[in-house]
């Protein structure tokens, strides 16, 4: 069983998946900082300083000036403003990732389109082959000799 597990864990796909998950987790922090610290302030400024994170419904019936006050009082709340922020965050992240993937695909296509020249030895061998074909095509071919007695 140990050998089977060792074989499973050492396969390339499992290792690549683990690396992808670790890099994805690290990338999440970068993306969250990009959205929270760089993109959301200008969006909030353009929208008149609206902070969606403070929008909520109190299920307990009391009135609270802010979400923090409601949470401090232990009131049950539906925090729809945080949901709106999460949706905006998703749209920004998906748009940014779309642009990144689009550029990577464009570079990949450009990389594929550049024809690679074969090594000089292969070029010389092709020239010799073509010359031999041309030479064989210019010779008159004689029919095979009849060997019947």
- Proportion of the chain above pLDDT 70, given as a percent: 87
Radius of gyration (C-alpha) of the chain in whole angstroms? 34
The pLDDT of residue 12 is 66
The pLDDT of residue 144 is 54
What is the pairing mode between strands 77-78 and 57-58?
antiparallel
pTM over the 0.85 mark: no
The pLDDT of residue 139 is 63
Q: Report pLDDT digits (tens) over 96-126.
A: 778 888 888 888 776 666 667 888 898 899 9
Which of 11-20, 42-51, 98-107, 123-132 has the highest average model confidence (pLDDT)?
123-132
Q: How far is CA 128 from CA 116, 117, 119, in A?
A: 21, 17, 15
Average model confidence (pLDDT) across the chain? 81
Instruction: Band the pLDDT of 129: cuts 50, 70, 90.
Output: very high
The larger pLDDT score, comparing residue 127 to residue 17, is at 127
The closest of 71, 78, 73 to 57, measured between CA atoms, is: 78
Classify residue 124 by burial, with Cβ atoms within 10 Å: 0-12, 13-18, 19+.
Answer: exposed
Q: Report pLDDT digits (tens) over 49-77.
A: 777 788 898 898 888 888 889 989 989 99
The larger pLDDT score, comparing residue 127 to residue 16, is at 127
- pLDDT average, residue stretch 71-93: 87
- Proportion of the chain above pLDDT 90, given as a percent: 10
Q: How far is CA 44 from CA 29, 30, 79, 110, 133, in A?
A: 21, 20, 18, 39, 74
């Amino acid at each position: 069983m140990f050998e089977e597990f060792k074989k499973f864990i050492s396969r390339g796909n499992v290792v690549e998946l683990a690396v992808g998950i670790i890099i994805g987790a690290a990338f999440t922090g970068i993306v969250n900082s990009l959205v929270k610290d760089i993109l959301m302030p200008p969006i909030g400024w353009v929208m008149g300083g609206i902070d969606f994170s403070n929008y909520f419904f109190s299920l307990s019936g009391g009135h609270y000036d802010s979400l923090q006050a409601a949470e401090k009082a232990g009131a049950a709340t539906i925090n729809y403003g945080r949901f709106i922020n999460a949706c905006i965050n998703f749209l920004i992240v998906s748009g940014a990732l779309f642009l990144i993937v689009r550029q990577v695909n464009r570079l990949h296509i450009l990389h594929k389109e550049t024809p690679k020249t074969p090594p000089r030895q292969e070029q010389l061998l092709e020239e010799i082959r073509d010359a031999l074909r041309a030479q064989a095509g210019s010779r008159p071919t004689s029919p095979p000799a009849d060997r019947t007695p």
